[in-house]
Copies of this chain bind each other. A is one copy, B any other.
Amino acid sequence: MSASTTDAAPDTSRQAAASDADVARVHELATRSRVAARSLALLTRAEKDAALLVLADAVDAAAGRVVAANDEDIERGRSQGMAESLQDRLRLGEGRVADVAQALRDVAALPDPVGEVVRGSTLANGLQIRQVRVPMGVVGMIYEARPNVTVDAAGLGLKSGNAVILRGGSAAASTNRVLVDVMREALAEAGLPRDAVQLLEGGHGSVTALMQARGLVDLLIPRGGAGLIESVVTGSTVPVIETGIGNCHVYVDAGADLERARAITVNAKTHRPSVCNAAESLLVHRDVAADFLPSALAELADAGVRLHVDQSTADLAGDTPVEAATDEDYATEYHGLEMSVAVVEDIDAAIEHVERYGSQHSEAIVTEDRAAARRWVAEVDAAAVLVNASTRFTDGGEFGFGAEIGISTQKLHARGPMALPELTTTKWVVEGEGHIR
């Protein structure tokens, strides 16, 4: 699993009022999830891993049904004029189904976060205290086109002892329904509650009801485009972890090794432009602009990158086609082969620019100057600050977490790549011998 791509299907990003029927249905669904969560929390790692393998085999065995349902979704999308790129994200061929099943086996191989003792001590009065990782309980995922998220979220949820409520985009409705049916059957076969994995269907009002199911749902994780995230963050009373908005910068400092700068810039922009840890904006110290920009711009353009630049950059572009950047460009996550570029006076101006336009995701400096690197690391406020490395490294897989549920760009609970431990909370266990105050 890798950095979340943005599947900007518009259908879940508006907020509709929840009818009484929506609220009643979501409450009934979430209550069943809570019951399932109580038993999931008590499973051993061996039990959970065995179930994950049963799920993986079931997904493999159902590949034909999954692909057929997926064809249906794509056909429906095509007839409604869905963009090719969206169809690509939606598509699950036999090979992709096998990958999705394998991801469940990979999750089984990861350590169980539940039960980890985070800290503990014996107090002066003899009271023994320890802080232990426990599941969150019920976790809701609201996401867009890519149906592999359906299986990934179920697998990570199960491993971390949580019941999950999945709300995928309507574009993938048939695929998601088959995947969830298959996994629920497999759960029952493995002796676990089917309601460990539930699919929330119905209109937009049901999403609103989910976002308001405080006390029944412990955590909501939206994954998708800015509209979806914003809608969930502002409309929820259930706690939310914001993921995956990345307006990431590469700053080429006066002290940069320009060959490294070139490689990092091109990699950060073009390696996988649709994901949140791709760079959207290039800032160049004016002292190296004349040496760096002409060839860098040409290489980016050759790679198909459309360049939105300030006047100083335009003056150095030579024959490379560029267009004038608007303020809007600097604030935009392109999700594609476009990049904004600006020449800055100094590192202070670069930090100010990032503070103004960045989304606190991943911010890279290229420099051999120790003082500049130290300042960047200390002063840039982001989930990840990188020195002489591509922004593409902010990723659970790259960090060695094995799997990720998204990349958090908020400060509460989780910041940066979210893996299994971030799907848990803790509980204090206090043991005494009749202790009173």
Residues of A within 8 A of B (CB): 38, 41-42, 121, 123, 127, 129, 131, 134, 136-137, 214, 218-219, 233-234, 237, 239, 241, 257, 259-260, 263-264, 267-268, 271, 373, 377-379, 381-390, 392-394, 398-400, 410-413, 415-416, 425-437
5 nearest A-B pairs in the assembled complex, by CB-CB distance: A389-B432, A260-B434, A267-B436, A411-B425, A413-B413
Partner pick for A389 among B379, B386, B390, B431, CB 8 A cutoff: B431
- Cα separation A265 to B413 with both chains bound (whole Å): 34
Partner pick for A437 among B271, B411, B430, CB 8 A cutoff: B271
Nearest-neighbor residue (CB-CB) of A268 within chain B = B436
Partner pick for A393 among B127, B137, B373, B390, CB 8 A cutoff: B127
Cβ contact within 8 Å between A430 and B137: no
A1 nearest CB across to chain B (Å): 15
Cβ contact within 8 Å between B271 and A400: no
- Cα separation A260 to B435 with both chains bound (whole Å): 8
Cβ contact within 8 Å between B378 and A42: yes
Cβ contact within 8 Å between B394 and A434: no
Cβ contact within 8 Å between B434 and A264: yes
Cβ contact within 8 Å between B431 and A394: no
A221 nearest CB across to chain B (Å): 11
Enumerate chain B residues within 8 angstroms of A399, measured Cβ to Cβ: 123, 129, 428
A69 nearest CB across to chain B (Å): 33
Nearest-neighbor residue (CB-CB) of A408 within chain B = B425
- Cα separation A432 to B392 with both chains bound (whole Å): 12
- Cα separation A437 to B364 with both chains bound (whole Å): 14
Enumerate chain B residues within 8 angstroms of A260, measured Cβ to Cβ: 433-434
- Cα separation A257 to B434 with both chains bound (whole Å): 9
Nearest-neighbor residue (CB-CB) of A260 within chain B = B434
Cβ contact within 8 Å between B425 and A415: yes
- Cα separation A233 to B212 with both chains bound (whole Å): 11
A435 nearest CB across to chain B (Å): 4
Cβ contact within 8 Å between A239 and B429: no
Enumerate chain B residues within 8 angstroms of A392, measured Cβ to Cβ: 436-437
Partner pick for A428 among B129, B385, B411, B433, CB 8 A cutoff: B385
Partner pick for A384 among B259, B264, B373, B427, CB 8 A cutoff: B427
Nearest-neighbor residue (CB-CB) of A267 within chain B = B436
Partner pick for A385 among B381, B430, B436, CB 8 A cutoff: B430
Partner pick for A387 among B134, B413, B430, CB 8 A cutoff: B430
